[in-house]
Structure 1
Amino acid sequence: MKRLGALLLCAALLFSFAGCGKKAGGESFGFVLSAEPKQIDPQAVSDTASLAVISAVFEGLTALDEDGRAISAAADWTVSADGCTYTFILKESYWSTVSVRGEKTGFEDPVMVTADDFVFAVRRTADPTTRSPYTAQLSGIRNAAAVLAGEASSTTLGVEALDEKTLVFRLDAPDDGFTRRLASPAFMPCSREFFAYTAGRYGLETRYILTNGAFRVSGWEHDTAVTLRKNENYHAAAAVLPALVKYRISTDAAENYDLLRRAYIDAAEVPAAEQDTAEENGVRLVELRDTVRFLYLNTADEVLANVDVRRAVRDAVEWETLKAGVGAGCTAAIGYTAPAATAGGKAYTAPATACPLKTDVPKAQKALADGLTALERTRTPSLTLLAPDDTDSANLARYIVQSLAKNLSIYCSLELAAAAEVQKRVRAGRYQLAICDVTAAGLTALENLVAFKSGNTQNYARFESAAFDAAYDRATDSAAAVTTLEQLLYDAAPALPLAYVTRCYGVRAEDTGITVRPFNGGAFGALLSFKTADRKK
């Protein structure tokens, strides 16, 4: 009864902004964040919840279209004949305003967004005190290597404001992907004056957030909701339709879907058990084939640090049995990248040579023997496999446990836990073997595979390989390059792809202009795009 009462109270509150008509000339919409945003600071954070808000309230020089190509956003640009100088002319736009009762902030009136705001943002990204996750996006900008190595000041970066509306980037060499990288939060503007005003609290509360995008943050009730309103100072405000957007912060998928079904919010993930009846409940389904279910082998573990032991696990699995039982809504994986990923602008499908998973017991037994010799062990190790407690994941885990016992005489205990707990432990590295679903943070296959580079935040296997890192740094956005990287991963076996998982997201059938993107929008976007969201009458 308590849960029902809480749900009804939440629905009553949500009714005040979703499905209740127009606000100041536009409709109001409700969505879900799966976590509390860490900070609304484009240069400093990369968590999904923060990026969802940041992508709505900030705008960089460029943006990515639905095919991942760079398009004009806050500025138009030209490129020099040698391809090393990019000149941007800003569109006339103004910052949102900040008013605090009983205090003069100095930002009560709109102030123009200038080229210096972008220069300051790029320098903040390079500043080690920012601890930006986006420093790699600065590569190729003149002096960036020296600045990031601590050998030069960020003021020497090859970025300059010629006047209020003209911004120039100078590169070390031509880079066809530069404008695409400019869609990164690293290049979203930051007002130098407002940043100083916040005195270390930038992006932590509503009053310390100044935005240049289609929306502004008008309220932030921590751990409960974030409210956005249309930013009338935005250069393309006339094309922005919603007047108000409210994010509900919740991890309860069943409750979120119930709110969607009852038209109290406008989009949410649809649980598998509800997908067959979604349409009759007024919900339009969008399928996202952007998630891979991996078996992770923790390379930081004393035993699994040995590559031969990992290869033994790989070759001992009864793959034909496993692939036949991946479960509803899944297909057997044939590579390390999700089906929605692209290479060279086209859909990428791993060839048979990329990840030839097959059972080879003699090969597995020899690899295990070689690994134990290198580890100076005479006894077969015991392992623990962590897996989500849903039926499909648990079944896959049992296939793997049985394979290791049958083919390698390895005793592997099975530990089942809630999916959220598994995710938490995998991210923290508190496991030996683990089955875990991962949605990559990139639209291309190459961006999918960056998760296996040393030190990457999604490198859940703690995999470190100089050969893989070097190959990745040389790689181009091509199918051949991606296949080479997959072959390196197959050989080193820090993770084994088990299945492709299809996620289903639901949008209210009467809503238009809401786009659901694969890979949660990629590293530079968000799952949902709603600037032109409207509701059929």
Structure 2
Amino acid sequence: MKRRWIVGLTWLTVLSIALVGCTGVNTGAPENEGSADENQVLDMTIPAEPPTLDHSVTTDAVSFDFILNNVMDGLYRLNKDNKPEPAIASGIDITEDKSTYTFSLREANWSDGEPVTAHDFEYAWKRALDPETKAEYAFILYPIKNAEAYNSGEVSADQVGVRAIDEKTLQVELEAPTPYFLSLTTFATYFPLREDIVDKYGNEYATGADKMVYNGPFEVGEWKHEQSLTLKKNQSYWDRNTVKLETVNMNIVKDTSTGVNLYTAGEVDVASLDSALADAFKKSPEYLPITLAETQYIQFNTNNEFLSNAKIRKAISYAVDRESITKLLQDGSEPAYSFVPPSIFTSDNQIFREIAPDGHQYNPQEAQRLLEEGMEELGFTSKPRLTLLSFDDHRRQVAVAIQEQLKNTLDLDINIDPQPLRQKRDREAQRDFELSFISWRADYNDPQTYLDMWVTGGPFNRADWSNKEYDKLINDSVRNPDNEERTRNYVEAEKILLEGSPVAPVFYTGKIFLQKQYVKGIYRHPVGAELTLKWAYMDGKE
């Protein structure tokens, strides 16, 4: 019989080692300081309309970061120190070989009063893995036994290693020990779902406030598409006494200057700030910079004849002056010379960037040489005009800077095509782009969350790049219990990625917010979902 060890609510020792040292931002005093206002209403801006709140299929940051993390609870959620703490889980039993996790669930209800059960987790995870669902984030469930095989259509759902033993007991069998597994359970794809509600609304599920149920601190009270969302305190939430905010009004504001105008007019309490207005607020106590584990980069469509050549892709990367771009942004962003950001730790508790060499530098002469060699290899005698798919928010200025740099250094003509988030995401998924300026934020703190994107046929490998040696390094590392070997594999894999250049890293993201001083207890996490409002409250708002 396998020896087991039991843990209850205070269990925090078997966590991903990689979470150590990653600091979040508490924007305001702890919630037990000061006296909270009687009227607990927070007004804020969000940058886009969430395409859907169906956490089995959604992939956009607005849904994940701003809404789902605040209206849903998984088995665990990130706490104020960015470590997973029990949420719906009340205890856990882990086998000595760390291959099987048995979660005990607390007494918790959905917003309609129905109990949250182990079946809700089993159903949600298997739904995301079902090939018919076509969930792009299904891969994040692959540490579970037979999850990948089921998602690939090789086995049936009943062979997946997740099972509701009874209403309050969930057993999860892994393919192999996964040191960051509890961190994964804080991610939206691991949240539970009510099968009866999904069946009731079908394709309309989670497209409106009244077409889903919630088990988190808040529920969506009103959703005016392309205008606003209102979150209301979930009176059925198991930890509702901790939640002080009664209402959160989220105004959809795509233009930063509009959000700042709302902020200065006193119509919102929290708003995003960009470089154009940063200097005007830098000395204000309401000026709040944060750093995220997020890389902004150019993605190349390797199916394009001109961009099929690695030397040409690398030439474009070497022509980008990253330092001048971050100076333009003035938001705390840092130049990115490699793909994995400096806030990511390895499973043996090393800062990945300190042991992995930087790759792409600004080198105009080398860029010109590589472009000439690449064109000669392809037989190109002239340079085609290329189009750069871009965000339609403040990052358009980065696209313009890249456009100018590629013209000045390589005499490449680049058209900029800014698109709303939904259309941009769809275009990328359909490979309807040549160059795309894109971002990737860590789902959990481990190099894998960046490097497994680029395996052959991966759902987010929209560059359609392929390298067999790279695939082997990543696949060998995913479930490798030898942390040192795993780290070496990831270092080597990133070198191959940068040599093959399906991407050109540009900068690691910084963000600036304006936040009234009476707003307390908002937490912003560098990995996973960005925003937690569970502990937020208002103290002194007129």
Q: How does 1:196-345 map to 2 (within 5 A)?
A: 196-278=199-281, 283-313=286-316, 317=319, 323=323, 327-328=327-328, 329=330, 331-344=334-347, 345=349
Native 8 Å contact 2:111 2:236 kept in 1: yes
C-alpha displacement of 1:368: 4.0
Query: Residue 32 of structure 1: CA displacement?
Result: 2.4
Q: Is the 8 A contact 2:217 2:237 kept in 1?
A: yes
Distance in 1 between residues matched to 2:39 and 2:502, nearest whole Å: 50
Which letter maps to 1:119?
E
Which shifted more, 61-70 or 171-180? Answer: 61-70
Which of 27, 37, 40 aligns to 2:40? It is: 27
Match status 1:47 vs 2:60: yes
Q: Partners of 2:133 and 2:366 in 1: how far apart?
A: 52
Q: Which has the higher contact order (CA 8 A, sep 6+)?
A: 2
Cα distance in structure 2, aligned partners of 1:36 and 1:225: 8
**2:361 counterpart residue number:** 357
Structure 1 contact 323–498 (Cα < 8 Å) conserved: no
The aligned amino acid for 1:415 is N
In structure 2, what is the equivalent of residue 102 of structure 1?
A: none
* Distance change >3 Å, CA 482–CA 26, structure 1 → 2: farther
Give TM-score scaled by structure 2 length: 0.79
Shift in Å, 1:40 = 2.1
Change over 3 Å in CA distance of 1:302–1:22 after alignment to 2:
same
Deviation, structure 1 residue 308: 3.5
Partner of 1:399: 405
Deviating more after overlay: 335-344 vs 215-224:
335-344
Contact 2:260–2:271 (Cα < 8 Å) also in 1? yes
Q: Does 1:484 align with 2:488?
A: no
**Residue range with higher mean Cα deviation, 389-398 or 207-216:** 389-398
Assess if the C-alpha contact under 8 Å between 2:117 and 2:167 holds in 1: yes
SS of match in other structure, 1:113 = coil
Matched, 1:57 2:63: no
Q: Distance in 2 between matches of 1:496 and 1:140?
A: 29
Partner of 1:473: 475
- Alpha-carbon offset, residue 212 of structure 1: 1.0
1:37 aligns with 2:50: yes
Structure 1 residues 294 and 216: alpha-carbon distance in aligned structure 2, compared to 1, 3 A threshold:
closer
Deviations along 1:61-82, whole A, 9 cap, x unmatched? 1223466543211112120223
- Is 1:507 the counterpart of 2:508 in the alignment? no
Equivalent position of 1:5 in the other structure = none
Q: Structure 1 residues 281, 460: closer, same or farther in 2, change over 3 A? A: farther
Q: Which AA in structure 2 matches 1:424?
A: K
Q: 1:43, 1:186 within 8 Å by CA — same for their partners in 2?
A: yes
* Higher deviation after alignment, 458-467 or 505-514: 458-467
Match of 2:171 in 1: 168
In 2, the alpha carbon distance for the partners of 1:232 and 1:370 equals 62
Matched, 1:529 2:532: yes
Relative to 1, partners in 2 of residues 1:347 and 1:419: Cα closer, same or farther, differing over 3 Å?
farther
Cα distance in 1 for partners of 2:464, 2:80 equals 32
Q: What is the distance in 2 between the residues matched to 1:132 and 1:387?
A: 23
State the shift of 1:333 in Å: 3.0
TM-superposed deviation, 1:517 = 2.9
Deviations for 1:439-462, whole angstroms, at most 9, x for unmatched residues? 524353432344434455654544
SS in 1 for 2:132: helix
Q: Name the SS for the 1:119 alignment partner.
A: helix
Amino acid at match of 1:355: G
Distance 1:208 1:359, change over 3 A: closer
Pairing 1:74–2:75 present: no
1:340 deviates by: 3.6
Rate the CA distance shift 1:391–1:113 in 2: closer, same or farther, 3 A.
Answer: closer
The percent identity for this pair of structures is 23
Letter in 2 for 1:95: W
Deviations 1:486-517 (A, max 9, x none): 21122112222344453212222221101223
Whole-Å separation in 2 of the counterparts to 1:152 and 1:118:
20
Q: Deviations over 1:396-440 (max 9, x none)?
A: 543332322xxxxxx421435658699939846555456x36252
Residue 525 of structure 2, aligned match among 490, 496, 517: 517
SS at match of 1:299: coil
Deviation larger for 222-231 or 175-184: 175-184
Cα distance change, pair 266–122 in 1 and its aligned pair in 2 (3 A): same
- Alignment-derived partner of residue 104 in structure 2: 89
The answer as to whether partners of 1:209 and 1:217 remain within 8 angstroms in 2 is no
User: How far is 1:239 from its partner?
Assistant: 0.7
User: 1:447 maps to which residue?
Assistant: 449
Measured on the aligned residues, the alpha-carbon RMSD in Å equals: 3.5
> Measured at CA, do residues 480 and 160 of structure 1 come closer, stay the same or move farther in structure 2, by a change above 3 Å?
same
Corresponding residue number in structure 1 for 2:424: 424
Note the 1:458-469 alignment, pairs <5 A. Answer: 458-459=460-461, 461-469=463-471
For the pair shown, the structure with the greater C-alpha radius of gyration is 1
Letter in 2 for 1:402: N
Structure 2 unaligned regions, length at least 5? 1-34
Is the Cα–Cα contact under 8 Å of residues 354 and 483 in structure 1 kept in the other structure?
no
Q: In the TM superposition, what is the alpha-carbon distance from 1:139 to its structure 2 partner?
A: 2.0
Aligned-partner SS, 2:474: helix
1:296–1:496 CA contact under 8 A, matched in 2: yes
8 Å CA contact 1:309, 1:372 repeated in 2? no
Relative to 1, partners in 2 of residues 1:296 and 1:429: Cα closer, same or farther, differing over 3 Å? same
- 1:482 Cα deviation after fit: 4.1
**Conserved? CA contact 2:356–2:491, under 8 Å:** no
Residues 68 and 342 (structure 1), Cα distance of their counterparts in 2 relative to 1, 3 Å cut: farther
Q: TM-score, normalised by structure 1?
A: 0.79
Secondary structure at the aligned position of 2:260 is classed as helix
Q: How far apart, CA to CA, are the structure 2 residues paired with 1:211 and 1:74?
A: 13
Is the 8 Å Cα contact of residues 338 and 500 (structure 1) preserved in structure 2? Answer: yes
Count of residues paired in the alignment? 487
Q: Shift of residue 240 of structure 1?
A: 1.0
How far apart, CA to CA, are the structure 2 residues paired with 1:176 and 1:290? 19
